[in-house]
Amino acid sequence: MSEFTKKRRIAALIGLVILAAANFLLWGKVEQGHLIIVDAVVVSLLVLLFFAKGYSGGVKTLVVLAFLTALSVVLSRLLSLNTHNVRVGLGNVPILLAGLLYGPFAGALVGFGADLAGALLLSSFGYMPLMGISPLLLGAIPGLLKPILLRKSVSPLRLGAVIFCAQIITSIGWTSYCIYLLYGTPLRELLLIRIPLYVAMALMETAVIWLMIRGGVFRAQGLIPVKGKEKQA
């Protein structure tokens, strides 16, 4: 990867971070419909930046990310248990995979796109920009931690550490805080329910992704070899 491409990817990721911060600062001060329009425009510009000529992967990668986005929407909105306090299902798996396979910006893009599309098309609660930060971070964190924890090999423990970090920051931390702000549900009551639930979900997500990696599904996509099988890769 050229130095220019690296800088472009970093710029795109920084753009998403700024977008998330803007959603937080403008929440309650700007009409929600206006925030959605701004989000859509900014993300479209970042996609053009990220997938501009010279990016390795190009259209093929964009198609895969679009598929992961659609899969997350189906798993999250149609094949999950959804209430205003919890969501139980496998909708996070495609988002986590996008971050692991294609990096933090791609993961953030899939998380943001899946949340926006699912909320606008299939949710009775509508899109909430403040909560949209959570799936964005959920996709970005695995991509950021992969070079640190999964650089040489993937093991269930290392993979679980990445996914647990993502869940603690997003589903347990940020989303719980947003529900408290939006609905007034006491934070302590939320955490008593959400901590054990999302710890269990993190274990389930780790098991699903580990089984996929163990079977060699993503080896051709550049995910590092399973621990103990480096010589066979």
Would residue 100 count as lying in a domain? yes
Would residue 75 count as lying in a domain? yes
Higher pLDDT: 198 or 37? It is 198
Would residue 29 count as lying in a domain? no
211 by Cβ neighbours in 10 Å (0-12 / 13-18 / 19+) ranks as: exposed
Residue type, 93: V
The alpha helices in 27-126, defined as continuous H runs, are 32-50, 58-73, 92-102, 104-122
**How far, in Å, CA of 110 to CA of 140, rounded?**
9
**How far, in Å, CA of 31 to CA of 4, rounded?**
37
The residues that bridge with 30 in the sheet, in sequence order, are 27
Would residue 212 count as lying in a domain? yes
Would residue 22 count as lying in a domain? no
Indicate the pLDDT class of residue 102, thresholds 50, 70 and 90.
confident
Give 79-99 pLDDT, tens digit per residue.
Answer: 888 776 788 899 999 999 999
Would residue 6 count as lying in a domain? no
**How far, in Å, CA of 116 to CA of 104, rounded?**
18
Cβ proximity of 68 and 218 under 8 Å: no
Would residue 48 count as lying in a domain? no
Number of domains present in the structure of the chain:
1
**How far, in Å, CA of 153 to CA of 224, rounded?**
6
Tokens 């900014």: give the residue. Answer: 42
Specify the 3-state DSSP secondary structure of 47: helix
Range of the domain at 90: 57-221
- Check residue 233 and give its pLDDT: 37
Give 2-16 pLDDT, tens digit per residue.
Answer: 555 566 666 666 766
Give 119-169 pLDDT, tens digit per residue.
Answer: 877 776 667 777 888 898 899 899 889 888 887 778 899 999 999 999 999
Is a pLDDT exceeding 70 seen at residue 30? no
Tokens 């934070």: give the residue. Answer: 187
- Check residue 231 and give its pLDDT: 43
What element of type H or E holds 195? helix 187-214
Pick from 74, 160, 157: which is nearest to 117 by CA? Answer: 74
- Check residue 61 and give its pLDDT: 78
Would residue 228 count as lying in a domain? no
CB neighbourhood size of 2 (10 A) = 9
What element of type H or E holds 82? strand 81-82
Residue 133 sits in a domain of what CATH number? 1.10.1760.20
Residue type, 189: E
Q: Which two tokens stand for residue 89?
A: 């299902």
